[in-house]
Amino acid sequence: MVENNWVFPKPIVCRPALPMDTPGMLELTRQIWEGEDYVPGTWTDWMADPEGMLTVAEYIARIVGLGKLTKLADSDWWLEGLRVHPAYEGRGIASRINDYLLAYWQRVDSGVIRLATISKREPVKYMVVKRGFKLIGEYAFFKTPFSKPGLPRPTKKIFESLTQNDVDEALEWLTTPGKNRLDFGVMDLGWKFALPRYEFVENYVEKKQIWWWQGRLGLLVMVKKQDNSENFARIRMLACDRKEYLTCLLDAHAFAQQQGYAGVTWKTPLLPGIQDELSMAGIIQEKDYTLQIYEKSHAVE
């Protein structure tokens, strides 16, 4: 694939977003995901972020693209929200926004920057690999509705809420060398992925969204799916030894059912043999594409 070097009659300007760009952002996102884009709902917070960078691409006074760089923790950054106006797709605008944000990150910090994209977005994958990003992990999407109450697996005392006193122990448990308890070494923070840190675990504890499984055999993070049309739980993290994955997953399903949810959605790491195990258990992949996580280390490092 050859990256498009479209020549525009007038220059495209990438710059920090301003409040006056809001109407242009709304016009752009109105045509994305059939008007269900999440960007309008987070735009104000993104603009107020004191450490990140929200940028727009402007062409002849029209907003034709945007992107967000977010600092998750010291030396841990995330690229998100890359959008290009449908009328200007395929003209290299995404690459210009991406390069603008990468240059900003190179100037202000070090460490690692990551992003996520779905497997069928070949132009995005080509763009980030060309800029030195490496694929570190891949997830398949799953969804299980609870068709009838039934008799779920007993979960009494199987799941135990973490307290503030457990944060250090949980962090050590997640990062024990050689255990590979955390998929690809990163935590799911809600469509953002980062190395496990004290503040991330503490945040889940404060929100009562994290549990020990079977004493200290695993950790579950489960949140309410942000979709008013479905009362589903979303499993964000299922950390356990590889051989225990299916058992822990089934227990998490039963736990969600006992909490009154109508079903569960989650992402399963594509590790050897894991999809066969799920298939044999009657769990079928929801989508025909996967979520891929890429990362890039700072040039100085």
Find which of 66-80, 225-239, 287-301 is predicted with most confidence, using mean pLDDT.
66-80
pLDDT of residue 11: 81
**Where does the pLDDT of residue 232 fall: very low under 50, low under 70, confident under 90, or very high at 90 and above?**
very high
Give yes or no: residues 91 and 201 share one domain: no
Q: Which of 89, 109, 129 represents a domain boundary (last residue)? A: 109
Q: What is the mean pLDDT of residues 112-139?
A: 94
**Please, which contacts does 202-206 make with residues 24 or more away whose CB atoms are closer than 8 Å?**
202/164, 202/167, 204/162, 205/162, 205/163, 205/164, 205/166, 205/167
Section 6-14 average pLDDT? 74
In a domain, 122, yes or no: no
Q: What per-residue confidence (pLDDT) applies to 2?
A: 44
Q: What is the mean pLDDT of residues 128-151?
A: 87
Q: How far is CA 233 from the centre of its chain?
A: 16
User: Do 93 and 225 have their domain in common?
Assistant: no
Tokens at 178, concatenated: 């050689």
For the segment 103-118, the average pLDDT, to the nearest whole number, is 93
Check pLDDT > 70 for residue 148: no
Look up residue 275 and give its DSSP letter.
H
Q: What pLDDT was estimated at residue 29?
A: 92
Q: Which residues contact 197 (CB under 8 A, 6 or more apart)?
A: 73, 76, 171
DSSP character string of 121-151: -HHHHHHHHHTT-EEEEEEEEEEEE--S---
222 in a domain, yes or no? yes
Is 50 within the bounds of a domain? yes
Residues 149 and 232 in one domain: yes
Is the distance from CB of 190 to CB of 203 less than 8 angstroms?
no
Looking at the domain assignment, is residue 72 inside a domain? yes
Q: What is the average per-residue pLDDT within 32-47?
A: 89
Out of 12-21, 102-111, 279-288, which region has the weakest mean confidence (pLDDT)?
A: 279-288
pLDDT band at 156, cuts 50/70/90? low
Number of structural domains in the chain: 2
Mean pLDDT of 150-156: 63
Can you tell me the mean pLDDT for 123-148?
92
Average pLDDT of the chain to the nearest whole number:
90
For residue 36, give its domain range: 12-109
Burial call 12-39: b when 16+ CB within 10 Å, e when fewer:
bebeebeeebeebbeebbeeeeeeebeb
- Provide φ and ψ at 18, rounded to 5°: -125, 160
Q: Which amino acid is at 50?
A: P
| Across 217-241, average pLDDT | 89
Position of tokens 């979960």? 155
User: Which run of H or E residues covers position 238?
Assistant: strand 232-240
End residue of a domain, out of 90, 109, 128:
109
Do 149 and 46 lie in one domain? The reply is no
Instruction: Tell whether 161 and 221 lie within a shared domain.
Output: yes
User: Does pTM surpass 0.95?
Assistant: no
Q: Which residue has the tokens 């735009």?
A: 43
Q: What is the CA radius of gyration of the chain?
A: 21
Using a 10 angstrom Cβ sphere, with 0-12 exposed, 13-18 middle and 19 or more buried, the burial of residue 40 is middle
pLDDT at 9: 64
Q: What pLDDT band is residue 35 in, cutting at 50, 70 and 90?
A: confident
CATH number at residue 85: 3.40.630.30
Q: Which residue has the tokens 């920090």?
A: 16
pLDDT for position 155: 64
301: pLDDT strictly greater than 60: no
